[in-house]
Amino acid sequence: MRNFFASLFGALIGIFLAFFLIFIICVGIITNAVRSVKEETITSVPRPSVLEIKLNHPISERTPPVAFNFRLPDDEARMVETSGLNDILADIHHAAHDKEIKGIFLNLSDIPAGFASLQNIRGELERFKSSGKFIIAYSMTYSQKSYYLASVANKVYLHPGGNIMWKGLGAQIMFYKRALDKLGIQVEVFRHGRFKSFVEPFVLDKMSPDNRLQTKAFITSIWNDMLDAIGSSRHIDKKQLNIYADSLTIRNAAAAEDRHLADTLYYSDQILDKLRQNLGIKADQAIPAIGLDDYRHTFSPDDYAPAKIALIYASGEIQNGYGDDQNIGALRLSQSIRQARLDKDIKAIVFRVNSPGGDALASEVIWREVSLAAKAKPVVVSMGDYAASGGYEISCAATEIVAEPTTITGSIGVFGLIPDAGGLLSDKLGITVDTVGTNSHATAPSLFYPLTTAEGAIVQAEIEDIYRKFVMRVADGRKMTFAQVDSIGQGRVWTGRQAIKIGLADTLGDISTAMQIAAAKAHLTNYSTEEMPSLYNPLRKLFKRFGVDAETDILQAELGAFYQPVKDLEQLTKEKGIQARLPFNYIIE
């Protein structure tokens, strides 16, 4: 009888959860339908209008598809944009030629995006500005990233109680060795590359001299690019900007205005009056502004042409299998490259790479398809925030490589990490593990005991073999000798600007530069663009939200700044096979 009631109760709970899920989906469908009607009604821009840009969301390479929108009209989350880099650039580009758009309002705070993505957006804003239209920037408090973007504006305004956080760039890395020692966890490290510092947080308690050297070099390169751009736009000497950072001169809004980093200090109502003035409308009139998300629904892509350039995205960590829209699945991406190679209407490929690398075998699978495609038609790589380690390996066979000056690339090296939690189990928890196998190494590698000397030698030999192949791939693709690549390899990280000087990239520029080069190499003057691979059905994402993503959201909210180290340690237990990826998670501010 007890089992009967237990089963009945379980069934009732299951039915309740099923109906609840159906109810949520129905609400989402209705809400999304209402929102879709609204979006479809936005077929024209109010005149005259200003394009408002906030960039208050993590900027992905492509705008993610939305299955359902559960946000209410007055929800604060509705104020957050969702546009990916592709639509941000397309919006700004179209606005420059849109007669109804008179200018851009950069309404900024902090911008959770990489430096190369910001550099790409800033370049598009410069082209917009050259059309003769105005750009106004405003913020309560500018971070260094948001000020870098804002400095392109005709006028930079700041709240009187605000500030510009001007202090220089710094990189921080968390180290876990002491924590692991206390837990009784040892990590066996196998690597080739004196600069391949991904492993350091697990075996050291501070940066190695080599890692400190490379980190200082690449953040200085990024900082110098920021200084050059800001100094040119604001007419401030680069040396003076460094003095301001070293002395923390820009302590408040008044100091920012006095040193010409800001033009005028305005309250929010005053900036609205300034916008009305620029638009030539009355003081009591509502400002006709349109955001990025809505603006992209007011125009269609370029006219169709039979000749096409495939724009293939490789964004996220490189993994085996099919991956998802946040990570690169070797099978899914390889299929897209193969499809573009065999399609006679596709005359060239722009391969957009924004990846810190990942699984070495998966990188090899993608490299093969890129090398085959480059023999059939022009393949031009456009590097995003990262194109490093495995991300560089999948790029090196291209016809030409275009990098942003602040792209993080190189890191030609490989490593393997094998944790040994035997001490944690036996000494801390009193748990012992015994094994039995048909052969000598049947249970290796194991989480419960270290590798033998012979097993460790085999792993290291595999590391050396993969590194040798990696260097050969780069040497063949870049027309260099093995020794030349090895001298700039060893896991060392470079910026895009540095990569040009050492032969790892060909041209500095953004994704539009890569498109122009691809069109020229394919002798195209009129073409359409086909984005690949197709984004996953948003319904897949919806159901995922009830699983792993929901758990992630909860952990991030509860752990705050401590979420990243927990994620790093969890990743340690999940690494399988040899890895070709960037050094560990830098926090660069």
Is the pLDDT at 410 greater than 80? The verdict is yes
544 among known catalytic residues: no
- Indicate the pTM of the whole model: 0.85
> Bigger pLDDT: 148 or 544?
148
Is the pLDDT at 242 greater than 50? The verdict is yes
Is the pLDDT at 536 greater than 60? The verdict is yes
Catalytic-labelled residue, pool 196, 308, 377, 541 = 196
Quickly list DSSP for 169-186: --EE----HHHHHHHT-E
Reported as a pLDDT band with limits 50, 70 and 90, residue 126 is very high
- Each domain of the chain, given as residue ranges in start order, spans 42-166+250-295, 308-415+464-563
Is the pLDDT at 313 greater than 70? The verdict is yes
Residues 309, 350: contact at Cβ < 8 Å?
A: yes
Catalytic-labelled residue, pool 83, 197, 371, 389 = 389
Taking the domain 42-166+250-295, which CATH number applies? 3.90.226.10
Residues 374, 399: contact at Cβ < 8 Å?
A: yes
> What's the pLDDT score for residue 572?
53
* Domain 308-415+464-563 fold: 2-enoyl-CoA Hydratase; Chain A, domain 1 (3.90.226)
Is the pLDDT at 118 greater than 50? The verdict is yes
Can you give the C-alpha Rg of the chain in angstroms? 26
Instruction: Write out pLDDT tens, residues 154-171.
Output: 999 999 999 999 999 999
DSSP 3-state of 301: coil
> What's the pLDDT score for residue 540?
52
Residues 391, 381: contact at Cβ < 8 Å?
A: no
Q: CA 333 to CA 393: how far, in whole Å?
A: 14
Q: What is the DSSP letter of 493?
A: E
Instruction: Write out pLDDT tens, residues 361-392.
Output: 999 999 999 999 999 999 999 999 999 999 99
Is the pLDDT at 550 greater than 70? The verdict is no
Reported as a pLDDT band with limits 50, 70 and 90, residue 35 is very low
Residues 136, 264: contact at Cβ < 8 Å?
A: no
> What's the pLDDT score for residue 48?
87
With a CB cutoff of 8 Å and minimum separation 6, the contacts of 192 are: 413, 414, 415, 463, 464, 466, 467, 490, 491
Measure Cα distances from 482 to 201, 329, 477, 478, 479 in Å: 30, 29, 11, 11, 10
Tally of CB atoms within 10 A around 218: 25
What average pLDDT does range 382-408 have in this prediction? 97
355 among known catalytic residues: no
